[in-house]
């Protein structure tokens, strides 16, 4: 594994000298890369993933697939991964899988190992041992798979013992993470009888499930649903190997769109437009409501910032990964920014609601914290060292605020390696400093 970047323990952020004006190309989507890796591994034959993301989250997925007996060759320079699919089977009968702090890897592989014949252990970093996975374990248990949270916490480390998976009906919670549902949907075609998945509570982050269904279709499998509450996946389907192009990461793009807003500048992101399957492209809609101009094209999005920004109230359930991005812009608005319906982000890499509130208060900003969100009052920003809690999105979001106000330093900037190892270099380039 190579991530190339070494950052100091603390990184001062220099404000932009002038409004930004840049055209930006971004790395591949983490969400699409990890879904495509799973489906290519379950397909018949060799798949080539073009534009794949090389980050901690994708490397732990690649390593885990190899440990399961699925060959994956990589060419990081060409942003290419080549996967030798095994037709819905897992060659390894025993494997210990280290998933770091990658929620997609942990949840997707827990379900995927249920297709195997053997015993599998899934574990990660200390924070992963605090991230819930019990609803997925309960769902697999309904299908006859032996699953166990080894510490009895409902979190990893997890042990899965399986003798293959026939299929059946599952009742599943949808209000903690959409990744449980995505994990089950992806393995459904490889079962004998298929899956019927009934959600017991409203589904969070719906666009990510829509993404899963779209990528499944790209690899040749169908699934249907009724009102996003009952999902049907026919069994005995075969994923088809293919060459698959992965579009740039829309969550990563949110930081550069926010940079345009923060500096009253202009950013155009290439190869990410109205054709995107990623829900997080909707972040530009919020910037538009705040007063920015958005130019939408099939294969590009442009944001032109305008100061002062307007305060808004937003239900961000569908695009919750961009909550820290919007929150970091809030001090620059002329009215309060209210974020609601994102209680599930308390179970991410950190409790993102509490972390964002803590760091904004460190900057002298008045914040009211709700169980499901935040109310942020604009105001002068005082210098501070921003704690990141090991969360890549905290580091990148507050770096954008540091481009608009002086005196911000990012603690542990290297945590961006999780999804965007060269973020700070690309930020400097967008600011015209490289």
Nearest residue to 387 (alpha-carbon basis) of 415, 408, 359, 406: 359
% pLDDT > 90, the chain: 97
Q: Which two tokens stand for residue 178?
A: 């959409």
Whether 74 contacts 81, CB under 8 Å: yes
Whether 242 contacts 219, CB under 8 Å: yes
Whether 59 contacts 98, CB under 8 Å: no
175 is annotated as an active-site residue = no
Task: Find the helix or strand (DSSP H, E) in which 293 lies.
Answer: strand 293-297
DSSP string, 142-183: HTT-EEEETTSSSSSSEEEEEE----EEEEE--SS-THHHHH
pTM: 0.95
248: which DSSP letter?
B
Average pLDDT for 199-221: 96
Question: Half-sphere exposure of 193 toward its Cβ, with a 13 Å CA cutoff?
Answer: 10
Marked catalytic residue, from 57, 249, 280, 321: 321
Q: Which two tokens stand for residue 162?
A: 């399986």
Q: Pairing relation of β-strands 94-98 and 146-149?
A: unpaired
Sheet hosting strand 168-172, strand order edge to edge = 168-172, 195-199, 230-233, 224-226
Task: From residue 80, give the alpha-carbon distance in Å to each of 24, 29, 45, 50, 423.
Answer: 20, 13, 17, 5, 20
333: which DSSP letter?
B
Res. 311: pLDDT tops 90: yes
Nearest residue to 244 (alpha-carbon basis) of 87, 35, 88: 35
Q: Rounded to an integer, what distance in angstroms lies between the CA atom of residue 153 and that of residue 131?
A: 9
pLDDT of amino acid 228:
77
Residue 6: pLDDT band with limits 50, 70, 90: confident
Residue 104: pLDDT band with limits 50, 70, 90: very high
Nearest residue to 287 (alpha-carbon basis) of 269, 66, 119, 74: 269
Residue 4: pLDDT band with limits 50, 70, 90: low
Whether 33 contacts 52, CB under 8 Å: yes
Res. 3: pLDDT tops 70: no
Each residue's pLDDT tens digit, 342-378: 999 999 999 999 999 999 999 999 999 999 999 999 9
Q: Rounded to an integer, what distance in angstroms lies between the CA atom of residue 399 and that of residue 404?
A: 9
């Amino acid at each position: 594994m190579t991530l190339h970047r070494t950052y100091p323990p603390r990184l001062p952020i220099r404000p932009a000298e002038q409004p930004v004006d840049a055209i930006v190309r971004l790395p591949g989507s983490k969400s699409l890369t990890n879904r495509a890796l799973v489906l290519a591994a379950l397909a018949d034959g060799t798949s080539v993933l073009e534009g794949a993301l090389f980050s901690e989250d994708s490397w732990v997925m690649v390593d885990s697939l190899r440990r399961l007996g699925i060959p994956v060759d990589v060419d990081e320079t060409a942003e290419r991964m080549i996967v030798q699919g095994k037709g819905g089977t897992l060659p390894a009968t025993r494997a210990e899988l280290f998933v770091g702090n990658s929620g997609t890897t942990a949840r997707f592989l827990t379900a995927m190992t249920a297709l195997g014949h053997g015993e599998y252990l899934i574990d990660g970093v200390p924070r992963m041992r605090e991230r819930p996975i019990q609803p997925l374990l309960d769902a697999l248990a309904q299908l006859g798979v032996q699953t166990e949270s080894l510490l009895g916490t409902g979190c990893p480390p997890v042990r899965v013992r399986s003798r293959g998976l026939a299929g059946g009906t599952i009742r599943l919670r949808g209000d903690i993470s959409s990744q449980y549902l995505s994990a089950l949907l992806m393995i459904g075609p490889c079962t004998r009888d298929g899956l019927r998945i009934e959600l017991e509570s409203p589904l969070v982050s719906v666009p990510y499930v829509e993404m899963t269904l779209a990528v499944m279709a790209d690899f040749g499998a169908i699934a249907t649903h009724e009102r996003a509450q009952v999902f049907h996946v026919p069994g005995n389907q075969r994923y088809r190997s293919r060459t698959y192009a992965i579009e740039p990461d829309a969550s990563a793009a949110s930081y550069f769109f926010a940079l345009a807003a923060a500096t009253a500048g202009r950013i155009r992101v290439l190869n990410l437009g109205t054709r995107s399957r990623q829900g997080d492209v909707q972040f530009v809609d919020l910037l538009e409501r705040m007063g920015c101009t958005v130019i939408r094209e099939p294969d590009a999005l442009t944001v032109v910032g305008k100061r002062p920004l307007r305060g808004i109230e937003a239900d961000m359930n569908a695009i919750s990964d961009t909550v820290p991005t919007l929150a970091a812009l809030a001090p620059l608005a002329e009215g309060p920014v209210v974020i609601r319906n994102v209680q599930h982000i308390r179970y991410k890499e950190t409790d993102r609601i509490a972390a964002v509130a803590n760091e904004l208060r460190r900057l002298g900003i008045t914040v009211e914290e709700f169980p499901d969100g935040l109310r942020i009052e604009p105001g002068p920003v005082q210098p501070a060292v921003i704690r990141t809690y090991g969360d890549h999105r905290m580091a990148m979001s507050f770096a954008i605020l540091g481009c608009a106000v002086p005196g911000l330093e990012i603690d542990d900037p290297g945590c961006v390696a999780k999804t965007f190892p060269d973020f700070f270099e690309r930020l400097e380039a967008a600011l015209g400093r490289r």
